[in-house]
Chains A and B, each alone.
Chain A
Amino acid sequence: MNTGVKKITAYKVLSIILLIIFAILFAFPLYWILTGALKTPAAINAASPEWFPHEFTLRNFQVLFTKRSAPLYELPIPFTKLKVVGATVPAAVRWLVNTVFMAVMAMVLTCITAAAAGYALAKKRFRGRYLIFSLIVAAMALPKQVILIPLIREISSLGLYDNIWAVIFPTVGWPFGVFLMKQFSEGIPGEMLEAARIDGASELRTFTSVVVPIIKPGIGALAIFTFINSWNDYFMQLIMLTSNANLTISLGIATMQAENSTDYGLIMAGAALASVPIIIVFLLFQKYFTQGITMGAVKG
């Protein structure tokens, strides 16, 4: 018995040491981005790396912000070919604006459509619901990239190519959200819906005042999940967006690294700009995020 206890402790100590080593390795790339962004060119290209910068500089961010510029926003005036154009700002700022707009729009549209559809699939006994649900599950198992070529032709014929909506719409169409919301809606007690119906509440009213409050945690999880995924969905952005003013921050950084592949300081500054906002969002809402991941899998 005694040796058994010792064995367990030895194993435990060893596994914790290994765990810490791996944790350091996993955190290192981010640490290297953040410190690299603040290092001088000499420190970046030093033969023996500076594990912690001896000297901090904003030079990399200065270069990043002066290299390219773009208008802060461009709003087309409906029914004309005119546009309202904002002040000229560093392109990286515009890319951030684009990325936030894209992620917020994808998030809002996904949450609204998926909450309604998930509720319908879980609680409404309409014809064809099994067929629709199997289609959704089948589509989830396919890699998105398989459909990229037809998608790009479709987007072009809709006149949306090189437009931020070209990235938003396919993200909203991706059925994971519906699947997730169906899982959450299964838990709505039938009696509550029944009671609302007997009280004479309309379907829409039942949805907004009975269903939505119950599935709110699910909507929160889906919102944060969609926001982060769409922020980081480099592939979709790459194939849909081309002109300088329309890029997202990830895409902009990728373009910059293709042009200045040896200026690692500059590229790290860009990488920091692309990743720090989304990491902050993740840390703030990490609880919902974890919940979303696990809920999607529980009965998956």
Chain B
Amino acid sequence: MANQPSMSRALARRENIAGYLFMLPSLIFFVGFVVIPMVLCVYTSFFDSNMNQNTPDVFIGFANYAELWKDPVFIKALKNTFIIVFVSVPVVCIFSLWVASAIYRMKDSIMSLFRIIFYLPVVTGSVAVTVVWKWIYNNYYGVLNYLLKGMGVIDQNINWLGDQRFALWGIIIILLTTSVGQPIVLYVSALGNVDATLVEAAEVDGASDLQSFWKIRWPLIMPTTLYILVITTINSFQCFALIQLLTSGGPNYATETVMYYIYYTAFKLYRFGYGNAMGVILAIFIGLLSAVQFRLAKET
């Protein structure tokens, strides 16, 4: 079909109509619940808008955006969000690549056992994972303090989530455990797809394990790495349940993130326009970061 230089007009019409009809159910949901809210998000960000739908929104131009940069909580939230992203993205990538290369040549049953274990925190669900970590981190009954004291690392109980110095790191550790599952699955399958004869040929030529990894496997799994970078970045930006359930952004905004602040602005302060402006800024940052990652990946 694709090779025919010109389809007959009747056929082209049929293709058009059929195409639209098959698209229609999906488009209704996609446009209705994704595209329209996105457009409205940008639109409302230029208004002073609140929950009350009876009072009309007032157009205020870029005032919401201007206010953002003077809002110390937003700046703090932005800073924390970037710390989370810049710590978790490389750690997730390196850790999952390490796990995947350690397990992908194992026996199928053992390999999938490991894969399942590292995926468990994702399937368990954010609420269940969060509440158990709350207990693990607990000042008095938590396992963490007990273990660290037993090993002599600390000599006094630490209130991990209530202490400004540790709270954000406590969150990042939980985030890491819930982020590596998918990358490991992806890397295992990518490494498994690398043509074995290429690696063997290199080894016959006297390449070391490390050399054959960097020269052959690494370039071949680059698309996977790129995909993992992008999804992990998006995931880390979205870190929300952990913060909402564990710290509510505290203590003293030490764990405030943009995502949580948007939620707080919309549902506690009812400032929809201001929250939308934050959403737009967040989307721009994510877009920029993804673009940079694509560029970097293309160059290497």
Contact = CB atoms under 8 A, between A and B. Distances in A.
Contacts of A57: none
Interface in A104-154: 109, 112-114, 116-117, 119-121, 124-127, 129, 132, 135-136, 139, 141-154
In the A-B complex, list the 5 residue pairs whose CB atoms are closest, starting with the nearest: A126-B19, A124-B19, A173-B33, A117-B26, A120-B22
B41 A124 contact: no
B35 A139 contact: yes
23 contacts: A8-B209, A32-B143, A46-B141, A117-B23, A117-B27, A126-B23, A143-B237, A146-B283, A148-B262, A149-B262, A150-B41, A151-B33, A154-B32, A169-B33, A194-B1, A234-B127, A264-B135, A271-B127, A271-B131, A274-B128, A278-B125, A290-B185, A290-B189
Interface in A47-78: 47-49
A125 B140 CA distance: 64
B23 A147 contact: no
Interface in A213-260: 228, 231-232, 234-235, 238-239, 250-251, 253-254, 257
Contact of B283 (A8, A26, A143, A239): A143
A8 B203 CA distance: 14
B230 interface: yes
A264 B135 CA distance: 7
Contact of B102 (A4, A15, A146, A172): A15
B282 interface: yes
A165 B214 CA distance: 49
B20 interface: yes
B185 A29 contact: no
A131 to B, nearest CB: 11
Contacts of B146: 47-49
Contacts of B2: 125, 190
B200 to A, nearest CB: 16
A193 interface: yes
Interface in B6-45: 7, 12, 14-23, 25-27, 29-38, 40-41, 44
B117 to A, nearest CB: 5
Nearest to B177: A26
B249 interface: no
Given A267-B131, A267-B135, A274-B127, 14 more contacts: A113-B25, A119-B22, A139-B34, A144-B238, A145-B259, A150-B36, A170-B34, A232-B123, A234-B127, A257-B134, A261-B134, A268-B132, A271-B127, A275-B124
A124 B128 contact: no
A251 B117 CA distance: 25
A101 interface: no
B131 A257 contact: yes
B99 interface: yes
Interface residues of A, number: 98
Interface in B241-271: 241, 244-245, 259, 262-263, 266-267
Nearest to A8: B209
B112 A286 contact: yes
Given A33-B128, A231-B125, A149 B276 contact: yes
A274 B146 CA distance: 27
Interface in B123-176: 123-129, 131-136, 138, 140-141, 143, 146
Interface in A171-228: 172-175, 178, 190, 193-194, 203, 207, 228
Contacts of A146: 38, 41, 262, 279-280, 282-283
Contact of B120 (A22, A113, A267, A279): A279
B48 to A, nearest CB: 14
A253 B129 CA distance: 11
A143 B131 contact: no
Contacts of A278: 123-125
A84 interface: no
B131 A30 contact: no
B118 interface: yes
